Amino acid sequence: MPSPAVPVPASVPGGDLAGGLPIGLTSRPGRRQPPPRHLADLDPAGRRAAASQLGQQGFRADQLSRHYFARLTDDPADMTDLPAGDRAELAGALLPRLLTAERELTCDEGTTRKTLWRALDGAYIESVLMRYPGRVTMCVSSQAGCGMACPFCATGQAGLTRNLSAAEIVAQVVAGARALAAGEVPGGPGRISNVVFMGMGEPLANYAHVLGAVRRLTDPVPDGLGISQRGITVSTVGLVPAIGRLAGEGLSVRLAVSLHAPDDGLRDELVPVNRRWKVAEVLAAAWAYAAATGRRVSIEYALIRDVNDQAWRADALARLLAGQLAHVNLIPLNPTPGSRWTASRPADMREFEARLAARGVPVTVRDTRGTQIDGACGQLAATDRAGG
Ligand code: SF4
């Protein structure tokens, strides 16, 4: 069940940005022990300060950064440039193993790998690696569970467990990068080129840690993983103040808005946060983001049979987006078990797409692989909790 409604205190990360949420929604993480501090939670200066606190020279932190972000290792045995007597202590204090792979599923001849992770407190999250010709995308979780309660989403039904730390987010990408570098993914050794925050959670409800993760992912090696900012996509259901704050960060990451309906009547039901920030406000924030960054905003629209896939809604969506720096991603919904929400008929999907295209709105239907992945968002963890 979604967590009960609570006023969000300003001291909660993201709380000032997501405050005043409607009944049934929450951005407040559960009362769990936070994960231990990790090097990837800190900027380079913070890492050196942490090394000093351990009685070590600051440059030891730089050495550890190189191991983690360049060599993709957190195993003290690999760290032969550190004094043998200090390796275990340094790695234990600054590179604790935060996530354990509980289960791995592959499809598309091994080029899609979905991992269910267990955090140290037992929380489950998942990530997906997708290799395409010429690029590799990691889809990561930003929260364990989600407090946004979208009724068609398995994760939303389970509610929010807690925010992930920046290092827990980065660890999902490092694990993918390691598998790629080791040649474990068909296609030969490779690198992660794109990261999308479209796994479990509402990224902008965990603003500070997501931003920290974006910095670690995009800082040049060895301070970070050196992924291009343009390769990062942060998605949101429409937390308007947080979109505004992200626009002012001076980053060039892409924003994806999960719209799912062009009219407030339906969106209030499909994306309950719409009761707080209406379609017009969300899109105004999105266009301001596009103006500030020069990046085209991605409008995500899950096509749900007889719910939001009518031709008139395609026309309404086209009117909202006409002339804007936007691109629509249509996602055929892959239903969660036992759900009354299901994918649109292919003919309705084609009609919806054609109506947008006819009005000059750039639109694509997410490919089969993306559909499978999106449909499975939250399902792997949900299945595991059920013992399936
Ligand atoms: S669709 Fe996204 S925002 Fe909505 S409940 Fe699911 S994970 Fe949360």
First-last CA distance in the chain: 19
Probe target for ligand 1 pocket from 126, 128, 150, with the most ligand atoms within 8 Å of CB = 150
Residues whose CB is less than 8 angstroms from the CB of residue 176 and which lie 6 or more positions away in sequence, other chains included: 113, 127, 129, 136, 138, 192
- Name the residue with the closest Cα to ligand 1, atom 4: 150
Catalytic residues: 126, 377
What is the mean predicted confidence (pLDDT) over 204-220? 98
pLDDT at 378: 40
Atom in ligand 1 nearest the alpha carbon of residue 271:
4
pLDDT at 17: 53
pTM exceeds 0.95 for this model = no
User: Is the CB of residue 139 below 6 angstroms from any atom belonging to ligand 1?
Assistant: no
Which pair of tokens denotes residue 328?
């629509």
pLDDT at 158: 85
What is the mean predicted confidence (pLDDT) over 67-96? 95
User: Is the CB of residue 370 below 6 angstroms from any atom belonging to ligand 1?
Assistant: no
pLDDT at 48: 97
Percent of the chain with pLDDT over 70: 86
Weakest mean pLDDT among 23-37, 164-178, 187-201, 326-340: 23-37
Question: Which amino acid belongs to residue 222?
Answer: P
Weakest mean pLDDT among 5-19, 37-51, 295-309, 361-375: 5-19
What is the mean predicted confidence (pLDDT) over 337-362? 93
Probe target for ligand 1 pocket from 153, 277, 331, with the most ligand atoms within 8 Å of CB = 153
User: Is the CB of residue 138 below 6 angstroms from any atom belonging to ligand 1?
Assistant: no
pLDDT at 20: 59
pLDDT at 16 over 70: no
Residue 7 vs residue 36, higher pLDDT: 36
C-alpha distances (whole Å) from 361 to each of 162, 322, 327 are 37, 6, 7
Probe target for ligand 1 pocket from 25, 27, 140, 146, with the most ligand atoms within 8 Å of CB = 146
User: Is the CB of residue 155 below 6 angstroms from any atom belonging to ligand 1?
Assistant: yes
CA of 148 to the centre of ligand 1 (A): 6
Closest CA to 341 of 271, 283, 285, 278: 271
CA of 147 to the centre of ligand 1 (A): 8
Question: Which amino acid belongs to residue 146?
Answer: C
- Name the residue with the closest Cα to ligand 1, atom 5: 156
pLDDT band (50, 70, 90) for residue 336: confident
pLDDT at 6 over 70: no
User: Is the CB of residue 125 below 6 angstroms from any atom belonging to ligand 1?
Assistant: no
Question: Which amino acid belongs to residue 7?
Answer: P
pLDDT band (50, 70, 90) for residue 370: very low
Give the mean pLDDT of the chain. Answer: 88
pLDDT at 176: 98
Residue 4 vs residue 329, higher pLDDT: 329
Residue 20's φ and ψ, nearest 5 degrees, are 70, 30
C-alpha distances (whole Å) from 18 to each of 13, 142, 213, 371 are 9, 15, 19, 29
pLDDT band (50, 70, 90) for residue 309: very high
User: Is the CB of residue 150 below 6 angstroms from any atom belonging to ligand 1?
Assistant: yes
Residue 107's φ and ψ, nearest 5 degrees, are -150, -175
User: Is the CB of residue 148 below 6 angstroms from any atom belonging to ligand 1?
Assistant: yes
pLDDT band (50, 70, 90) for residue 71: very high
